[in-house]
DNA sequence: AAAAAAC
């Protein structure tokens, strides 16, 4: 890795002017293949941190080869059909792999390859011959996401020999047994529990990754636990924070958590994914929402669908009603425990179940390529008394579809002034127009949805196929 | 008037 800087500086280019001290915008390059890669985003990067010893800028790499990764890792990328780095990969990877290691705060739209970016960094930094010494720790906000990341590590690392990746989640790891693996990926509660019991030796950690970092560092939620983990790791550990959303509120804390980090940020208006057609359904009243949901069932099963509701109880209730009305659906939320949850999600991944009702537990990170429709049965709200529209959760929820350049539809249900105003706030926040659907004109609703779903789009060549777990 | 995450 020592020569990384020279390797990614294109020798045939004019020497660039000295990097300005302040933040500078870089426009995304034109690429071909899909709307996703065609899109030009304003990416804000702190250029002051982006120069090598000769003062040349380290903008990006245009191929994985330029990173000079070990052959075993390159073979893993090829096997997973990663041929060309996505924007976040070409920009963040050279920064994360450079020596001496620097912290990183990286923001990128849903389904654009953040996971592969930090997994590559972990695999590169870890001595995989030390199979019982944890050297990289990755934290995620849900059991499902932790398992998924474990699957990505094992896939990209499939040619790295016997890769030992421990999932530190309830039921998958014994609380009174030593954690023995090169890489640990887990949820904060279990990880802290293991550290407390002296079953997780953190002193050799080279990398700490916090996925969904804005959620994880929220002091109303998991922030405290992440802080405690940080206190237990070496000062020299490289800290990498990733998310599609970084609201200002948590950004200052993120900068303290990952001091003097290189940063890759996006503006609100560049956060939405072009392949996702965002629609809303004008429901006459709360009671009619359920009937309309049932009428949408046929459209939901064109591919797979996720229905997001506010509470566990309503998730169970809707499942019960839909089943009694003859629809096949499954449900997953935090009241379910351990391995049961794994089975439920595996069934959804494999297509054995096609319509999944869930809470915010699955709003973030979950990558199931077949998901073509997301329904916001309840508009996500946050804050005391749930009075404030939750624009971040909205974006993460709809990001369960339209992944890696695929098309998808989201339908948000509004039924009263409050839900309508909340959705209006969210569409203004991202600077987008939503397509209106009317429950009175069913032919038109079907046409609008099917028009999107049948429009095929070339998959970008960096897209992984379905992520395999186990 | 939430969800998640540890026992």
C-alpha closest to that of A302 among A405, A407, A376: A407
Average pLDDT over residues A404-416: 96
The answer to whether residues A335 and A285 touch, using CB atoms and an 8 Å cutoff, is no
CA dist A242 → A36, A379, A451 (Å):
19, 25, 34
pLDDT band at A15 (very low <50, low <70, confident <90, very high): very low
Return the pLDDT at A122: 98
String of DSSP letters for A10-24: -TTSPPPPPPPSS-E
Judgement on whether residues A184 and A245 belong to the same structural domain of the protein: yes
Among all protein residues, pick the one whose CA is nearest to the C1' atom of B5. A189
pLDDT band at A17 (very low <50, low <70, confident <90, very high): very low
Return the pLDDT at A384: 86
- Protein CA at A334 to nucleotide C1' at B5, angstroms: 9
A288 is a domain residue = yes
A464 is a domain residue = no
Return the pLDDT at A373: 98
Instruction: Report the distance separating Cα A61 and Cα A59, nearest Å.
Output: 7
Domain that holds residue A337: 276-454
Closest nucleotide to A188, Cα to C1' = B5
Residues ≥6 apart with Cβ < 8 Å to A450: A299, A302
Question: Strand pairing partners for A211?
Answer: A242
Rg (CA), chain A: 22
Average pLDDT value for chain A? 87
- Protein CA at A384 to nucleotide C1' at B1, angstroms: 10
pLDDT band at A455 (very low <50, low <70, confident <90, very high): confident
Average pLDDT over residues A226-247: 97
Question: What would the two tokens of residue A24 be?
Answer: 């500078």
DSSP reduced 3-state for A137: strand
Judgement on whether residues A321 and A363 belong to the same structural domain of the protein: yes
A467 is a domain residue = no
For residue A41, pLDDT beyond 80: no
A463 is a domain residue = no
For residue A365, pLDDT beyond 90: yes
- Protein CA at A308 to nucleotide C1' at B6, angstroms: 26
pLDDT band at A469 (very low <50, low <70, confident <90, very high): very low
A461 is a domain residue = no
Cα-Cα end-to-end distance for chain A: 31
Average pLDDT over residues A29-40: 31
Closest nucleotide to A187, Cα to C1' = B5
**Residue A384's domain is classified under what CATH number?**
3.40.50.300
pLDDT digits (tens, 9 = 90+) for A381-397: 998 889 999 999 999 99
In percent, the amount of chain A with pLDDT more than 70 equals: 84
Return the pLDDT at A415: 96
Question: What would the two tokens of residue A221 be?
Answer: 């939620």
Whether omega for the bond prior to residue A253 falls within 30 degrees of 0, making it cis, is no
Average pLDDT over residues A231-260: 96
CA dist A258 → A108, A191, A275 (Å):
18, 19, 32
Return the pLDDT at A435: 98
A185 is a domain residue = yes
Judgement on whether residues A210 and A327 belong to the same structural domain of the protein: no
Average pLDDT over residues A271-295: 96
A470 is a domain residue = no
Question: Strand pairing partners for A3?
Answer: none
Chosen domain end from A266, A298, A323 = A266
- A249 versus A459: the higher-pLDDT residue is A249
Average pLDDT over residues A189-199: 96
Chosen domain end from A228, A246, A266 = A266
Q: What is the dihedral of CA A168, A160, A349, A412, to 10 degrees?
A: 80
Closest nucleotide to A225, Cα to C1' = B5
Return the pLDDT at A134: 97
Q: Is beta strand A42-45 parallel, antiparallel or unpaired with respect to A24-27?
A: antiparallel
Return the pLDDT at A465: 37
The answer to whether residues A370 and A304 touch, using CB atoms and an 8 Å cutoff, is yes
What DSSP designation does A281 have? E
pLDDT band at A60 (very low <50, low <70, confident <90, very high): confident
- Protein CA at A16 to nucleotide C1' at B4, angstroms: 47
Average pLDDT over residues A124-137: 96
Among all protein residues, pick the one whose CA is nearest to the C1' atom of B3. A360
For residue A12, pLDDT beyond 60: no
Judgement on whether residues A208 and A331 belong to the same structural domain of the protein: no
Footprint of strand B on the protein (CB under 7 A): A 141-144, 169-170, 175, 186-193, 196, 220-222, 225, 310-313, 333-335, 359-361, 382-383, 385-386
Return the pLDDT at A280: 98
Return the pLDDT at A45: 60
Return the pLDDT at A416: 95
Question: What would the two tokens of residue A271 be?
Answer: 């956060």
In percent, the amount of chain A with pLDDT more than 90 equals: 82
DSSP reduced 3-state for A280: strand
Helix (H) or strand (E) holding A295: helix A286-295
Judgement on whether residues A226 and A287 belong to the same structural domain of the protein: no
A469 is a domain residue = no
pLDDT digits (tens, 9 = 90+) for A287-346: 999 999 999 999 999 999 999 999 999 999 999 999 999 999 999 999 999 999 999 999
- Protein CA at A197 to nucleotide C1' at B5, angstroms: 18
User: What is the domain count for chain A?
Assistant: 2
Among all protein residues, pick the one whose CA is nearest to the C1' atom of B1. A385
For residue A29, pLDDT beyond 60: no
pLDDT band at A43 (very low <50, low <70, confident <90, very high): low
pLDDT band at A92 (very low <50, low <70, confident <90, very high): very high
C-alpha closest to that of A276 among A122, A395, A175: A395
Judgement on whether residues A303 and A418 belong to the same structural domain of the protein: yes
For residue A9, pLDDT beyond 70: no
């Amino acid at each position: 890795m020592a020569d990384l800087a020279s390797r990614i500086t294109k020798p045939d280019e004019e020497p660039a002017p000295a990097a300005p001290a302040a933040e500078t915008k870089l426009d995304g390059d034109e690429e071909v293949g899909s709307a996703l890669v065609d899109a030009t985003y304003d990416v804000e990067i702190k250029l002051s941190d982006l120069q090598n010893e000769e003062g040349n800028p380290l903008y990006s790499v245009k191929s994985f080869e330029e990173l000079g990764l070990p052959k075993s890792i390159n073979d893993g990328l090829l096997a997973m059909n990663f041929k060309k780095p996505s924007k976040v990969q070409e920009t963040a990877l050279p920064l994360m792999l450079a020596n001496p290691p620097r912290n990183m705060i990286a923001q990128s739209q849903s389904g654009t390859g953040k996971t592969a970016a930090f997994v590559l960094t972990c695999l590169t930094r870890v001595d995989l011959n030390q199979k019982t010494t944890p050297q990289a720790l990755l934290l995620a906000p849900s059991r499902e996401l932790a398992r998924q990341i474990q699957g990505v590590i094992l896939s990209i690392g499939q040619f790295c020999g016997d890769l030992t990746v421990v999932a530190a989640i309830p039921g998958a790891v014994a609380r009174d047994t030593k954690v023995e693996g090169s890489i640990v990926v887990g949820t904060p509660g279990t990880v802290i529990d293991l550290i407390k019991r002296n079953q997780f030796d953190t002193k050799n950690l080279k990398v700490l990754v916090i996925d969904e970092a804005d959620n994880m560092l929220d002091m109303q939620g998991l922030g405290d636990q992440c802080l405690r983990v940080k206190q237990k790791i070496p000062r020299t550990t490289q800290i990498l924070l990733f998310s599609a959303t970084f609201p200002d509120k948590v950004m200052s804390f993120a900068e303290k958590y990952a001091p003097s980090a290189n940063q890759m940020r996006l503006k609100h208006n560049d956060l939405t994914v072009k392949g996702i057609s965002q629609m809303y359904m004008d429901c006459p009243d709360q009671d009619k929402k359920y009937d309309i949901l049932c009428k949408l069932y046929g459209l939901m099963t064109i591919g797979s669908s996720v229905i997001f509701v506010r509470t566990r109880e309503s998730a169970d209730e809707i499942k019960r009603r839909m089943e009694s009305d003859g629809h096949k659906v499954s449900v997953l939320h935090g009241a379910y425990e351990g391995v049961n949850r794994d089975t439920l999600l595996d069934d959804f991944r494999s297509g054995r179940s096609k319509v999944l009702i869930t809470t915010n537990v699955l709003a973030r990170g979950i990558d199931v390529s077949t998901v073509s429709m997301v329904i916001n049965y309840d508009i996500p709200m946050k804050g005391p008394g749930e009075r404030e529209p939750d624009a971040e959760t909205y974006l993460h929820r709809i990001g369960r579809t339209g992944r890696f350049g695929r098309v998808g539809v989201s339908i948000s249900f509004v039924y009263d002034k409050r839900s309508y105003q909340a959705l209006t706030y969210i569409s203004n926040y991202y600077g987008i127009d939503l397509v209106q659907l009317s429950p009175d004109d069913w032919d038109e609703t079907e046409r609008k949805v099917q028009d999107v779903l049948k429009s095929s789009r070339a998959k970008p060549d960096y897209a992984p196929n379905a992520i395999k777990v186990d």
